[in-house]
Amino acid sequence: MTNHQQTATIDGGEIVVRTLLDHGVTTVFTLHGGHLDAIFQSALDRGLRLVDTRHEQAAGHAADGWARTTGNVGVAIVTAGPGVTDVVTAVTNAYVDCVPILVIGGRSPLSDDERLPLQGGFSQLDLMRPVTKWAATVTRIDRLADYLCQALRMATTGRPGPVFLEIPADVLFAHTDAGHASFGSPARIDPPAASTYAIASMLQALAAAQRPLIMAGGGVWFGKGTDALRAFAEATGIPVLANGRGRAALPEDHRLSGGGFMTLATLPPDQGPDVVLLLGARLGLFTGSAGRPFIPPTATVFQVDVEPEEIGRNRRIELGIGADCGQVVHALLNGAGDHRWPDRQAWTSALQGARNAMRTLLNASYADDHRPIHSHQLARDLAAYLDRESDVLVADGGETSFWAESSSTIRRPGHWLSHGYLGCLGTGIPFAVAAQVAHPDSRVVCITGDGSVGLNFAEFDTLARHGLPVVVVVNNDQQWGMSKHGQELMYGKGRTVVSELGVVRYDRAAEGFGCHGELVEDPRDIIPALDRAFASGRPACVNVLTDPDIIAPITVAMVGAAAATGGKRTDGQVVMPYYGARETR
């Protein structure tokens, strides 16, 4: 090589993009910041899809939604300073629900530390550490690929969850010899498996039980175990319930599906399951409150979780198995042929009857011509409209998500996206963005409350710019429904405060972003409006005015004893809405 020849070099942005592509990442959710341009330029050259949102919170929620709907890691890239602070809520939402996402954050140059640079002056790592599995800073370009590989491993192995990697600008824009650059490679990791003794014990107990039950959570979905679970259920005749993250692990129109965990709440304890196999679902709010658990105290419970520390939370467990749910289900399926499995049609029918009881009760609670429109009719009509196996339903809002969940039938895992333990509103449209990108041939509908839709409303612009024909249905009861109804139950109708919104033309606002918009006031117009929205071929907002006086049963249940006592102390206890009674000390 002559003296005037120069060695080819690449920058940190090229290393980031090539490492992500090597790990199977095809789509990144982001919002522009100058700290990130090296990544964006390489993505442009190498075909990594960038979906830019209008707020970093929405980019984080979309990465979360991508993981929930695909079962694979979601990636968001945000700029330094306010870009990182804006994404914290989305990261926290993924953290409490154990969803694997990688957030890459820009950072002011290392050389400017303690100089009060632009978008610096605070520790982004200290901000992120409490709500991530792992958070780190890359300090050298030759370590960048190593850190990215470690971040992706941390997000997706063991208990899934969010990780945060910040890349200072002087590292990202630095150049290194292309011939010696490392891009990392995916590690082949064999997930933990159950012992032969554990598999035999579970099979023996399930075969001998009178009312066995499988309760599936997100661990089955992220453990790639849904197909094996269906085969095991069919081989044994054991019915399956699923929580929000595991919903449709068994299609909900399957003869062995009993719906969600709440099905058990409608059964008398002595008619509930006697043996439960809890697969990748934690024992918390969504398996029943401390005072009224869904699983009867007398039931024998086998709990499988990839994170052993989760086993035994809140109740006694017969046997805990710290293993990957996908591995366990495959092992159970392989051993099922060694046992005789009795006919349990009566038990399965009892579960399906309990599941359908709430729908029957809700259907009987109003007339089809109810004006203003009953929220359950809106959700029921929407559920009936979404009859294709490939349809995706996203639900956002306190009471709105209840109406949608209680009415819908989901047939594919990852095709129901809604709230989790954080109770975070505003996830709906960003989740729908991710779902439509991930499933371009599917119809995607987001049903959202009028309170929730305001939190990330500008993402209608994201839908329009990226040509994503999501239909957003606004359950517009002119208020923060769960909040106002809770206040009314607690304090009376004259004591509501900061919970009213009034009639807002969200449809017209969406039209301003280039979307199709409709206002619906008559229940007979719901289906025709949906037909026109999908026929438009554009993102759409169907703004449905619903009855503000209808209180969802979930609100009554969550306010509970607090409403009965007016929130006053009783027998040495303080009674709280949403949390029940607690002893005072």
423 assigned to active site: yes
CA 307 to chain centre: 19
What does each C-alpha distance from 1 to 175, 234, 331 come to in angstroms? 20, 68, 59
What is residue 78's three-state secondary structure? strand
Q: Who's near 87: CB < 8 A, 6+ residues apart? A: 56, 57, 59, 60, 76, 78, 103, 105
Structure tokens at 536: 């438009």
What gap in Å lies between CA 252 and CA 387, rounded to an integer?
12
Helix axis angle, 481-491 relative to 553-565, nearest 10°?
30
What is residue 519's three-state secondary structure? strand
What gap in Å lies between CA 294 and CA 490, rounded to an integer?
26
Please calculate the CA angle 161-92-414 and round it to the nearest 5 degrees. 55
Structure tokens at 501: 């919104």
Structure tokens at 292: 């009224």
What gap in Å lies between CA 262 and CA 267, rounded to an integer?
10
Please calculate the CA angle 42-46-49 and round it to the nearest 5 degrees. 90
What does each C-alpha distance from 69 to 210, 214, 274, 421, 444 come to in angstroms? 35, 22, 32, 18, 12
What is residue 272's three-state secondary structure? coil
> What number of other Cβ atoms are within 10 A of residue 407's Cβ?
23
Q: Which of 23, 35, 61, 376 is catalytic?
A: 35
Which residue's structure tokens are 């370590």? 143
Q: Which of 56, 166, 310, 399 is catalytic?
A: 56
Q: Beta strands of 456-501 (E only): which ranges?
A: 471-476
Using alpha carbons, select from 97, 32, 33 the residue that is nearest to residue 61. Answer: 97
Give the chain's length.
Answer: 585
What gap in Å lies between CA 542 and CA 519, rounded to an integer?
6
225 assigned to active site: no
- Specify whether the CB–CB gap between 25 and 46 falls below 8 A: no
- Specify whether the CB–CB gap between 284 and 217 falls below 8 A: no
DSSP letters for 185-240: -----------HHHHHHHHHHHHH-SSEEEEE-HHHHHTT-HHHHHHHHHHHT--E
Q: Which of 24, 34, 121, 423 is catalytic?
A: 423
Structure tokens at 74: 């979601």
What is residue 288's three-state secondary structure? strand
487 assigned to active site: no
Q: Tell me: cis bond preceding 372? Omega within 30 of 0 counts.
A: yes
Q: Which of 60, 83, 119, 449 is catalytic?
A: 119
Which residue's structure tokens are 């081989």? 235
What gap in Å lies between CA 285 and CA 557, rounded to an integer?
13
Structure tokens at 335: 């051993």
- Specify whether the CB–CB gap between 466 and 481 falls below 8 A: no
500 assigned to active site: no
> What number of other Cβ atoms are within 10 A of residue 111's Cβ?
10
What gap in Å lies between CA 362 and CA 403, rounded to an integer?
10
Q: Mind telling me the catalytic residues? A: 35, 56, 119, 423
